[in-house]
């Protein structure tokens, strides 16, 4: 194992390297470009340019010597200074460490990212995911970690690309790659059990604002009540949170979208420009932790309870009553304004919406797993030709309105921005002709399969002509219908037919959803289906959005949306439906899908940079944070256990990010209108 040596003798070393830090040794020969990355090495500085973000384009830095490794096991932090050399473009970048090659199983927790404004230089820090720190007992959900005694690479690249090819998309200088905070790395505690206290917090760590008693919860509420009472609404806002002092457009009494001075905007019911600065999952529910069969996990008797929703217990203590919800939602409503939010994003509780203080969006259906899907595939997509699906969508809003008065009220409520239908579908575009393979593999009674074969009949007339074009040997059309085999050889005709039907199917989905909204509420915005970021730039998906949606909504788990787009990306309004950032300084062990630095100050800065990138993008009309509350310590049903909330499990706000969001809310209209990237929002 190679011993870390300080190989850099530059005169500036003492000025830029923190006390106790140790430079990570490498030579120019160990630096290699990846994908479209262009790399120049000058001593300890690496100049990186990326024109095409795909193919994990970037730079790979390896230890010196054939088969060399770095031993990082005695340090807490890996750091590098990153400088954005662009004069006019915000950039994003992630730093990734590995025991092997990307992608591999140790990917999940071993990266961290940054967004930089033009000309900005900051330090990117990663808290190293030491295996011994996260060596939890069997059965306890633990974060992915790596063997930090044998690190084989540090890489910088653009993760999950949604940007177009563009010269100098990333143009940056990477310098002072180093290890910081030497000393014994904290190992997993022994004994480990119990590890969850009566408030749902990790027993073995301490951090600012950790709850130690019921009195702490009550005192927090009392102190926050004073803070909220003294808080004033941002001066730039009208009653909807639109730009009170900005341009006056036509007032229609409803939210709409319009292009003004080269940028897309939402327009509020009074005709004022509106940027939707919002928050998702504003509910009382917080995924419970199962305790049945796990009494050793908990530092208190769990009795016969099968699961515990700690956030509910904490709120009952905090408000001094079991029926705390009315008081809680009044607090949340005041928090939103105090934190600079003018919108309720997806999954907002109807009781919060009913207060009438904040404009809101509404999810009409979040993927209905009971509806007919495409055969036996794993695609999260419907058989949109099935009469059962069509019938449900035709009366979706009336059916919901009959069950939920809030849905009925939304049809005439000027506070209602619009409706989402579904979330993060998989249309079968992520792999070549994935949808068509699923269709052909479906049983003969599947409506989507019958529709596809019907189209082929109308084009080819005879099975003989189809077989000749596809290189297949179906005996007749019925044989093709019964078959669940996918042609091994994919001819040009097969691919063309597959693409044509895929586009037709996508078009049909969006048309049905558009009609679902507009046939009942023509004055409400249809906000789309909330794409994942890389789907949003697929031409047939974005084209259908342009044709049918008022707004294209995309969930972006990246450190900046500033360069969102593609050569085929339509000129239309875009709403960011989800984004978040997390760190590991508050007793939790997953920072979410976008790790940023080592503390809450890094998270606050990341929030500001993300919103700056969104505000300066001419198409982005809003950004909604996911989510209001941290996820449970040991995870929700699908395993997510992210430190991504504005509040923790004890309903304690994170002041750093709350201050950052307030600054955004106060200054977002002037910032967007001026159109110049500055580090400060003011």
CATH code of 121's domain? 2.60.120.430
The closest alpha carbon to 427, from 358, 501, 489, 371, belongs to 501
Answer with the residue of higher pLDDT: 99 or 286.
99
560 in a structural domain? yes
6 in a structural domain? no
Are residue 145 and residue 240 in the same domain, yes or no?
no
Q: How many domains does the chain have?
A: 2
Are residue 585 and residue 644 in the same domain, yes or no?
yes
Are residue 165 and residue 85 in the same domain, yes or no?
yes
**Residue 278: per-residue pLDDT:** 98
Are residue 226 and residue 128 in the same domain, yes or no?
no
Task: At 304, list the tokens.
Answer: 């016969």
State the first-to-last Cα distance of the chain, in angstroms, to the nearest integer: 50
199 in a structural domain? no
**Residue 1: per-residue pLDDT:** 29
43: left (phi over 0), alpha (psi -120 to 50) or beta: left
- Which secondary-structure segment (H or E) carries 288? none
Are residue 224 and residue 118 in the same domain, yes or no?
no
447 in a structural domain? no
Q: Give tens-digit pLDDT for 491-544.
A: 999 999 999 999 999 999 999 999 999 999 999 999 999 999 999 999 999 999
**Residue 18: per-residue pLDDT:** 53
- How does residue 145 score in pLDDT terms, banded at 50, 70 and 90? confident
- DSSP strand pairing (416-420 vs 525-526): parallel
Checking if the pLDDT of 104 tops 90, the result is no
Q: Give tens-digit pLDDT for 196-208.
A: 999 999 999 999 9
Are residue 159 and residue 41 in the same domain, yes or no?
yes
Q: Which of 159, 182, 205 is the last residue of a domain?
A: 182
Coil/strand/helix, residue 385: coil
Q: Give tens-digit pLDDT for 48-82.
A: 999 999 988 999 999 998 889 999 999 999 999 99
Q: Which of 130, 164, 182 is the last residue of a domain?
A: 182
Are residue 167 and residue 246 in the same domain, yes or no?
no
Read off the pLDDT of each residue in 155-163 and give the average, rounded to a whole number: 94
503 in a structural domain? no
471 in a structural domain? no
Angle at 89 between CA 39 and CA 535, to 5 degrees: 85
Answer with the residue of higher pLDDT: 183 or 13.
183
Read off the pLDDT of each residue in 245-259 and give the average, rounded to a whole number: 98
**Residue 3: per-residue pLDDT:** 32
Count of Cβ atoms closer than 10 Å to residue 159 Cβ: 21
Checking if the pLDDT of 361 tops 60, the result is yes
Residue 172's beta-bridge partner residues? 48, 84
Could you tell me the CATH number of the domain that includes residue 281? 3.20.20.80
The closest alpha carbon to 491, from 455, 459, 466, belongs to 466
Are residue 231 and residue 173 in the same domain, yes or no?
no
Using CA atoms, how far apart are residues 350 and 5, in angstroms rounded to an integer? 60
**Residue 101: per-residue pLDDT:** 62
Are residue 514 and residue 617 in the same domain, yes or no?
yes
CA atoms 119, 121, 127, 129: torsion sign: positive
Q: Which of 137, 166, 182 is the last residue of a domain?
A: 182
Burial status of residue 275 (CB atoms within 10 A of its CB: 0-12, 13-18, 19 or more)? buried
Give the count of alpha carbons within 13 A of 674, CB side only. Answer: 11
Are residue 355 and residue 404 in the same domain, yes or no?
yes
CA atoms 8, 13, 19, 24: torsion sign: negative
pTM: 0.95
20 in a structural domain? yes
501 in a structural domain? no
Question: Residue 117 in contact with residue 678, Cβ under 8 Å?
Answer: yes
Lowest mean pLDDT among 286-290, 339-343, 405-409: 286-290
Q: What is the DSSP string of 592-661?
A: -SSB-SSSHHHHHHHHHHHHHHHHHSTTEEEEEES-SBPPPTT--TTS------SB-TT--B-HHHHHHH
Task: Tell me the backbone φ, ψ of residue 564, rounded to 5 degrees.
Answer: -55, 135
Are residue 646 and residue 569 in the same domain, yes or no?
yes
Using CA atoms, how far apart are residues 51 and 170, in angstroms rounded to an integer? 7
pLDDT-above-90 percentage for the chain: 88
Read off the pLDDT of each residue in 632-640 and give the average, rounded to a whole number: 88
**Domain around 364:** 214-250+276-427+508-674
CA distances from 452 to 37, 133, 225, 401, 474 (A): 42, 54, 61, 35, 15
Are residue 218 and residue 356 in the same domain, yes or no?
yes
- How does residue 606 score in pLDDT terms, banded at 50, 70 and 90? very high
């Amino acid at each position: 194992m190679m011993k870390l040596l300080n190989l850099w003798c530059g005169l500036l070393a003492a000025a830029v390297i923190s006390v106790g830090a140790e430079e990570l040794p490498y030579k120019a020969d160990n630096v290699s470009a990846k994908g479209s990355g262009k790399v120049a090495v000058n001593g300890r500085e690496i100049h990186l340019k990326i024109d095409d973000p795909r193919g994990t384009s970037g730079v790979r830095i390896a230890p010196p010597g054939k088969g060399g490794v770095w031993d990082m096991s005695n340090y807490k932090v890996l750091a590098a200074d990153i400088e954005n050399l662009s004069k006019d473009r915000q950039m994003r970048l992630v730093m990734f460490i590995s025991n092997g090659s990307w992608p591999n199983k140790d990917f999940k927790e071993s990266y961290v990212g940054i967004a930089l404004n033009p000309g900005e230089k900051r330090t990117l820090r990663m808290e190293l995911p030491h295996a011994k720190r996260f060596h939890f007992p069997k059965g306890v959900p633990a974060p992915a970690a790596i063997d930090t005694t044998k690190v084989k690479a540090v890489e910088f690249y653009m993760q999950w690309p949604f940007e177009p090819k563009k010269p100098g998309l990333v143009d940056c200088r990477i310098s002072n790659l180093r290890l910081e905070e030497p000393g014994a790395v904290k190992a997993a505690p022994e004994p480990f059990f119990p590890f969850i206290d009566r408030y749902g917090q990790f027993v073995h760590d301490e951090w600012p604002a950790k709850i130690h008693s019921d009195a702490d919860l009550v005192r927090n509420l009392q102190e926050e009540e004073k803070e909220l009472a003294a808080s004033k609404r941002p001066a730039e806002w009208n009653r909807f949170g639109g730009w009170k002092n900005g341009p006056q457009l036509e007032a229609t009494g409803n939210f709409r979208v319009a292009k003004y001075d080269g940028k897309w905007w939402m327009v509020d019911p009074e005709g004022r420009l509106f940027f939707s600065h919002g928050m998702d999952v504003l509910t009382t529910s917080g995924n419970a932790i199962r305790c049945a069969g796990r009494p050793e996990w908990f530092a208190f008797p769990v009795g016969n309870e099968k699961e515990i929703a700690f956030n509910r217990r904490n709120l009952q203590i905090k408000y001094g009553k079991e029926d705390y919800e009315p008081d809680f939602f009044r607090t949340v409503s005041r928090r939103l304004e105090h934190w600079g939010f003018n919108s309720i994003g997806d999954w907002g509780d109807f009781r919060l919406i009913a207060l009438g203080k904040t404009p809101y969006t509404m999810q009409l259906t979040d993927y209905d797993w009971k509806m007919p899907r495409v055969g036996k595939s794993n695609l999260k997509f419907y058989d949109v030709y099935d009469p059962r699906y069509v019938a449900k969508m035709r009366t979706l809003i009336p059916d919901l309105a009959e069950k939920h008065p809030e849905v009925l009220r939304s049809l005439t409520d000027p506070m209602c921005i619009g409706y989402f239908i579904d979330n993060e579908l998989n249309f079968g575009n992520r792999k070549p002709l994935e949808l068509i393979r699923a269709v052909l593999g479906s049983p003969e009674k599947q409506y989507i399969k019958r529709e596809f074969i019907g189209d082929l009949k109308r084009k080819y007339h005879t099975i003989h002509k189809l077989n000749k074009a596809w290189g297949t040997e179906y005996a007749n059309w019925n044989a093709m219908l019964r078959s669940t085999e996918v042609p091994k050889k994919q001819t040009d005709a097969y691919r063309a037919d597959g693409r044509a039907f895929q586009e037709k199917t996508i078009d049909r989905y969006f048309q049905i959803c558009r009609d679902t909204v507009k046939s009942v509420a023509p004055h409400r915005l249809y906000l789309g289906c909330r794409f994942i970021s890389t789907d949003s730039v697929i031409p047939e998906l974005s084209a259908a959005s342009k044709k049918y949606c008022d707004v294209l909504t995309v969930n972006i788990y990246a450190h900046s949306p500033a360069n969102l787009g593609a050569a085929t990306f339509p000129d239309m309004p875009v709403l960011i439906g989800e984004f978040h950032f997390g760190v590991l300084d508050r007793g939790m062990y997953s920072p979410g899908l976008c790790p940023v630095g080592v503390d809450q100050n890094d998270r606050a800065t990341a929030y500001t940079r993300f919103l700056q990138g969104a505000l300066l993008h001419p198409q982005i009309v809003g950004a909604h944070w996911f989510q209001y509350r941290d996820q449970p310590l040991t995870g929700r049903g699908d395993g997510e256990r992210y430190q991504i909330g504005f509040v923790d499990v004890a309903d304690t706000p994170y002041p750093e990010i709350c201050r950052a969001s307030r600054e955004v809310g106060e200054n977002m209209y002037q910032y967007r209108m001026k159109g110049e990237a500055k580090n400060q929002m003011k």
